[in-house]
A and B are shown apart, each in its own frame.
Chain A
Amino acid sequence: MQNIKIETEKLSLFYGKVQALNNISLNIEEKKITALIGPSGCGKSTYLRTLNRMNDLIPDVNITGTVKIDGIDIYGKKIDVVKLRRRVGMVFQKSNAFPKTVYDNVAYGPKINGVKSKKMLDEIVETSLKRAAIWDEVKDRLNEFAYSLSGGQQQRICIARALAVNPEIILMDEPASALDPISTSKIEELIFELKKSITIVIVTHNLQQAARVSDFCAFFLSGEIIEFDPTRKMFMSPKDERTQNYITGKFG
């Protein structure tokens, strides 16, 4: 690995007494796509949420071990969680557009971060929508409600909204699982384009999607990482029999 962006060491997470992550050590490379795969309940989404401290919002969560971004422990005392989440954006399974116009959805982040100039906001909205590959479809509909768009378009609006605050990392939790094949392929192309400037960690149940888009792949099972390798290697010659059984569909 050349440039490690996220470094996880001996990370364990408990929901009350239930251990969801067990001693996870994983390095995520900068400006690459890392896919997290594994059966339901294996801990991949929980792990994803530790990377921008989204689990902090859940009561009774206990975390041990470290997660470092650019070498700094994000669970350190001096860390401003709001600033952290600005650096580490998130896109969810179900598009969660705000009940606002397309423009306001995308301008929301910059606005609460203090950008007041209309000209600057216009610029950010346009750039973000272009980066999210949806500008051509919505440039004449910026003042329409985001809900009036299709599911695939709403998901790209959410990605544009995440991009508007210039994150260094984007976490995606099954971003295309509710979309049709054409919208899925648009999202995948977009992810590919984004990795030129952003580190992406994606949770997916769609193994073909993991194989298509990711550079690295981590296989989770029962809260542990069973195997982490370049995707090409994992899908051609997995080291562990459990990985082989999962990716070939023998269980899971």
Chain B
Amino acid sequence: MYQYLEEELDLLKTKVIKMGSLVEEQLEFAVKSLFEGNLEMGKIVIERDSKVDKYDVKIDKLCQKIFALTQPVAVDLRLIMSALKINNDLERMGDIAVNIAERAEPLANNIDLLKRVQLDIMAEKVMTVVQKAIDSFVNNDHEIALSVIKSDDIIDEMDRTIFYKLIDEMTKDSSLVNAGAHSISLLRHLERLADHSTNIAEEVIFLVDAKIIKHKNNLDNLDIKSEEII
């Protein structure tokens, strides 16, 4: 019986990892399409979103099946619970990739504005956070997960700074209002990506340490020695 469960859990983990890789690639393409003005890449992102959605449904169904047939406990139960939640976050991140890709066209002539307010630097940092969050799940790595959680404050700070820079740009030059509005929307999307990455990292802590640290609960009790990643 356990062999059956083990096979199902392996399959589940593999599916979540594959979905994670796909979402990561979607985001990379979306960011490139935006900052390099490569609209073709943006199109690929929009078209491939249905593939992310399919993973979402498949993972949900697999979790239902494992719950119904095997009544998992302990680390097995935690894996399924975290897979369900990570699946949810990844699906949302996939949608954000589409939203970012959709900004490529309206912002194609304002790439210099994005770089002036350092949205490109923020995007790069967010991509690192996303990759690390997925890595922490792949390797059950508690340390990387903690460093992802720690990085969220840096992203939040960048979010605030860039927001005011954009306001400033728009105040000085009203022809930038349209691009500025799209940029603020982009800024929100990037900030949300870091939040979803934090959620994934929190699920990894739950999976590995059986501790619930959502909403920064119990975070003080955890020994955070991890290096900064961004």
Residue ranges of A at the interface with B (Cβ–Cβ < 8 Å)? 207-208, 211, 235-238, 243-244, 247-250
Contacts and interface: CB of A to CB of B under 8 A. Distances in A.
A interface, over-half SS: helix
Contacts of A238: 74
Given A236-B210, A237-B210, A250 B2 contact: yes
B77 A236 contact: yes
A50 B75 CA distance: 33
B210 A249 contact: no
Contacts of B71: 208
A238 B210 CA distance: 9
A247 B148 CA distance: 32
9 contacts: A208-B71, A211-B73, A236-B73, A236-B210, A237-B78, A238-B74, A244-B74, A247-B73, A248-B5
B74 A236 contact: yes
Contacts of B5: 248-249
Contacts of A207: 73
Nearest 3 A/B pairs, CB to CB:
A237-B210, A249-B2, A235-B73
B76 interface: yes
B interface, over-half SS: helix
Contacts of B73: 207, 211, 235-236, 247-248
Contacts of A211: 73
A133 B163 CA distance: 67
B210 A248 contact: no
Interface residues of B, number: 12
Interface in B61-85: 71-78
B222 interface: no
A120 to B, nearest CB: 46
Contacts of B76: 248
Nearest to B209: A237
Contacts of A247: 73-74
Given A236-B210, A237-B210, A244 B75 contact: yes
A210 to B, nearest CB: 10
Interface string B1-38: 11001000000000000000000000000000000000
B78 A248 contact: no
Contacts of A244: 74-75
A249 B5 CA distance: 9
Contacts of B2: 248-250
A243 B74 CA distance: 9
Contacts of A249: 1-2, 5
A133 to B, nearest CB: 25
Centre residue among B2, B72, B73, B76 by max chain A CB count within 10 A = B73
A240 B92 CA distance: 36
A250 B4 CA distance: 11
Given A236-B210, A243-B74, 14 more contacts: A207-B73, A208-B71, A211-B73, A235-B73, A235-B77, A236-B74, A236-B78, A237-B210, A244-B75, A247-B73, A248-B2, A248-B72, A249-B1, A250-B2
Contacts of A248: 2, 5, 72-76
A224 B5 CA distance: 28
A174 B183 CA distance: 66
A244 B77 CA distance: 11
A236 B82 CA distance: 13
